[in-house]
Amino acid sequence: MMNKTYFTLPDDLGIGLNDTLIYFYSNDRSSVNNKVFFTKNVICLLQKGIKQVHTSEGKTSINNNDVLLLTGGSILMSEAVTEDNMFEAILIFFGNNTLTDFCARHTGTFVQKASDKPILKLCKDDFLSNYCQSIYLLRKEGNSAIDELKVQELLGYLSTQYKDVFQCFVSHALEDCREIKLKQVVESNIYNGLTIEELAFLCNMSISTFKRHFAEVYKMSPQKYFTELKMKKAEFLLFHQNRPSEIFAELGYETLSAFSTEFKKFFGVSPKQFQDKMSC
């Protein structure tokens, strides 16, 4: 598989579109800093070789004694083959739908605290080593029924025997999901005049949760973010001789007065004064 330097996984594997997938990966050459975008979460059960992963949050290396848990997203991945020139791993892919369904059936799995560990890994114990052997015994790529059962088995074991690590993993995976949803809602409604309460509702969040996540994603309050974008667009439109009465609704204001008040508060002059100054 590693004959190029950018991958979208598991999509590039071309094995169905199910939410769960078990893939037996092997390679006979080392590679450095391949760009990989995971569209699903992945648990890597390394069998041979050494893998190094570098995410926006940190980096780590694993060998065949380790299990690596990664949520969806972009990483840099390096692989080093063993003395017999082989790199082998069992890759367990599953989407957030599978993860949320699992958590819904098992109380105590959901946590609100974001993961404070950049990359999560475990040392293989006897169960995980035997689990790998059972996967090989059932080896048949693309068998969705078997894949689903084995993924559920692994999630069940990790959630009970490594509860803290698993809860951090769930928190990180679902936090990413909320971030994507929040960005979609915000970017689609910048000029639609929606209230914070309405935006929070569209994100399926309380107002306080929405504000907290918004600040984490955009590094400022919702009010400041929307105001700055609206004023930047207003400045552009006024500079190109659009009248204030023609643009206030386009910017998401219910009245010309509301737009003028906020514009003057932001720039120190009224929209008309701004245009007069620009025309001088």
> Domain boundaries in the chain?
6-172, 189-280
> Fold for domain 189-280?
Arc Repressor Mutant, subunit A (1.10.10)
Our CA dihedral for 138, 140, 141, 143, rounded to 10 degrees, sits at -90
Mean pLDDT over the full length of the chain? 88
Cα gap 2→117, rounded to integer Å = 28
- The predicted model gives 183-202 an average pLDDT of 88
1-14 average pLDDT score: 77
More confident residue, 231 or 2: 231
Give dist(CA 79, CA 61) in Å, integer: 10
| Among the listed residues 180, 168, 185, the one whose alpha carbon sits nearest the alpha carbon of residue 73 | 180
State the CATH class of domain 6-172: mainly beta
The answer, yes or no, to whether residue 17 has pLDDT greater than 80, is no
Please name the residue that has the structure tokens 């190094």: 52
Give the pLDDT score at 107. 52
pTM of structure: 0.66
Specify the pLDDT at position 73. 86
Topology alike, domains 6-172 and 189-280: no
The tens digit of pLDDT for each residue in 80-129 reads 998 888 999 999 999 998 998 898 787 555 544 555 565 799 999 999 99
